A and B are shown apart, each in its own frame.
Chain A
Amino acid sequence: MEKKSIMNNFASIRPFAILVLRIVLSGIFIVAAFGKLLHPDALVATVINYNILPIFLATYFAYTLPWVEIIAGIMLLTGFGTRGASFAIGLLLVSFIAAIGVNIERGVSMECGCFDIFDMNEKLGTAILFRDIVFLIVAVLLVFTKDFILSIDNYIGRQIKR
């Protein structure tokens, strides 16, 4: 009985916690996308520099990347196809983590290219790797969430039920 009430308490906070995580994660990706869209040539150079994909593929990855960030970010923020958007962001994060991990392992000192907008010139390091892992955990959590408050998905769902 008591256990149930604790669970109920948690259940009442959970939707708000999810909402906060959604806003934070989407905000980070939208901001990151703007920096990349403003410096498209620098982004191509950065992706090539990671030295993982052949130049041809790296170039197309660089063209696609900021748009995935911005579209998925806006979808996550507005709660439209929320789980799909979280999955898309999760996939990006997996590729970032792999690319950063490989280059840390190689011992390469290079720029991250993560948030070009602030002219941060972050160097690759375990802190960035750890940050991306935290983002990935949030994205995975969102993919496994069924119901999002203040979301277009939720609104459409209610309209259909009615």
Chain B
Amino acid sequence: MNLNKSWKYVLVTTACIYLLSFILGTVIHAVTPHAETTSKTIIPEGYMQQISAMPTISVEDAYSDYTNNSTVFVDSRDNAEYREGHIKGAINIPYDKFRQYYPKYEKLLTKDKKIITYCHGTGCGLSVDVAKDLMAIGYTNVYVMTEGWPGWINANLPISVGKEP
């Protein structure tokens, strides 16, 4: 086979693979449900009341505290979601397993630290639950980052995947 012709064939094959993959990937993404988009669409009743009683913090302000060693981020979603992606450095205390997870981080969560809880974003009350639990055992410097995980992602801030903080 003529060399020029065979290289053309190689490049065309490669281009076809990429084009087909792009179409498949985009279409399949469009037709499958995703955690981030499903959880933030409906704001449950009582949420506004619940959140209004809590000290809240914006993503921007949270990020300015982020590099500060005296701030701890607490992801209150369940562990599977945490492993799929979370704020880099955040610890995981799932809202319904506070008693089980809290002791793991008791040493890290000293009372002088600023604690920022988050979950699926606007409409998600899990971070409020965890913040309340923390306040109940004596933490005073607790804030809820209401924009949550989607807000953090949209701002292109550091994240981590897997079970490590």
Contacts and interface: CB of A to CB of B under 8 A. Distances in A.
Nearest to B158: A49
B12 A84 contact: yes
Contacts of A63: 22, 25-26, 28-29
Interface string B139-165: 000000000000001101011111110
Contacts of B14: 84-85, 87-88, 91
Contacts of B26: 60, 63-64
Interface stretch (B31-39, B54-62, B70-78): B31-39
B20 A71 contact: yes
Instruction: Give the secondary structure class of B's interface.
Output: helix
Nearest to A39: B84
A87 B20 contact: no
Interface residues of A, number: 32
B63 interface: no
Grouping DSSP codes into helix (H, G, I), strand (E, B) and loop, the A interface class, with mixed when no group exceeds half, is helix
A75 B25 contact: no
Identify the interface centre among A40, A64, A121: most chain B CB within 10 Å of its CB: A64
B63 to A, nearest CB: 15
A46 B153 CA distance: 12
A50 to B, nearest CB: 11
Contacts of A71: 17, 20-21
Contacts of A66: 25
Nearest to A81: B13
Contact of A83 (B10, B83, B161, B164): B10
B42 interface: no
A84 B156 contact: no
B13 A85 contact: yes
B47 interface: no
Nearest to A143: B10
Contacts of B20: 67, 71
Interface in A38-94: 39-42, 44-46, 48-49, 55, 60, 63-68, 71-72, 75, 81, 83-85, 87-88, 91
A87 B11 contact: yes
B48 interface: no
A111 interface: yes
Nearest to A108: B158
Contacts of A39: 84
Contacts of A60: 22, 25-26
B164 A121 contact: yes
Contacts of A83: 6, 9-10, 13
B105 interface: no
Given A48-B153, A63-B29, A42 B84 contact: yes
A40 B10 contact: no
21 contacts: A41-B35, A41-B36, A41-B84, A45-B161, A46-B161, A49-B160, A49-B161, A55-B153, A63-B26, A64-B21, A67-B25, A68-B17, A68-B18, A68-B21, A75-B17, A83-B9, A84-B13, A84-B17, A87-B13, A110-B160, A111-B162
